[in-house]
Amino acid sequence: MKVVIFAGGRGTRISEESALRPKPMIEIGGKPILWHIMKIYAAYGHTDFIVCLGYKGHMIKEYFVNYFLHNADITVDLSKNTYEVHRNSAEPFRISLIDTGLDTMTAGRLKRVLPYVGNEPFMLTYGDGVSDVNIDELLRFHRESGKICTMTAIQATSRFGIIKMEDDGTIDSFEEKPEDSGTWINGGFFVIDPRIAEYLHDDADDIMWERQPMNDLARDKQIAAYKHHAFWKCMDTLRDKEELEQMWQNEPLWKKW
């Protein structure tokens, strides 16, 4: 099954890094987070990717065009203008890199790549979030639901610690960044049927995927939530990047390869 990845946004909330490169190219453990996302899907046998490019998209193109050479041991003969490859660690990925416009909204980016998907179900996610979601179980849930779209739902983690106190103000305990706030949010990792084309209108370039298309799907009872209770993290800020980097060095919960 093909996997569509949104990778065209400006990433303004992590501008310390995104001023120099597109957000999906920000590295965790020496590899772009986009690579990590692809490896998650590849662990379940899905290696055909369609990447929606926009802001600094040429940098993503250059990375993958030169991926083979960057990940191989080679001997270069300058006098003959030849090189010999001794060892390479290239991935078995097939990647379509599609320019979907600099300022196109996410609904428009999706609409623009539908011709590359074909008339078959596909998966969709964001180029800045990793998870240990079980892709096989997600696909099984989607097929059983019979809906046009399945969204992986995760429980929001508070960015701040909370105080547990009695009615008179006496503090009982502190809890830093509770894992379960009781609120379910969009975690990406979608599965989508071709009928989604009906929900992507002519003005899709100016519309967020998370607004009109998803709202209309909900109105028509055509979107289901696959509840994921385990690890999920979005690299939204520099602090998120640093936390993911620390996890990669110690216990990368999204690493299934």
**Tens of pLDDT, residues 11-34:** 888 888 888 899 999 999 999 999
The CATH number of whichever domain residue 17 belongs to comes to 3.90.550.10
How many independent structural domains does the chain possess?
Answer: 1
| pTM for the model | 0.89
Per the structure, the complete domain to which residue 177 belongs is given by 3-250
Domain assignment of residue 54, yes or no: yes
> Does 147 score more than 60 pLDDT?
yes
Domain assignment of residue 256, yes or no: no
Helix, strand or coil, per DSSP, at residue 144: helix
> Does 176 score more than 70 pLDDT?
no
Span between the terminal Cα atoms of the chain, in Å: 18
> Does 161 score more than 90 pLDDT?
no
Measured CA to CA, the distance from residue 76 to residue 82 in angstroms comes to 6
Measured CA to CA, the distance from residue 1 to residue 38 in angstroms comes to 13
Measured CA to CA, the distance from residue 58 to residue 39 in angstroms comes to 21
Measured CA to CA, the distance from residue 164 to residue 5 in angstroms comes to 40
Neighbours of 249 (CB within 10 A): 10
Task: Encode pLDDT of 60-110 as tens digits.
Answer: 999 999 888 788 888 999 999 998 888 777 799 999 999 999 999 999 999
Helix, strand or coil, per DSSP, at residue 79: coil
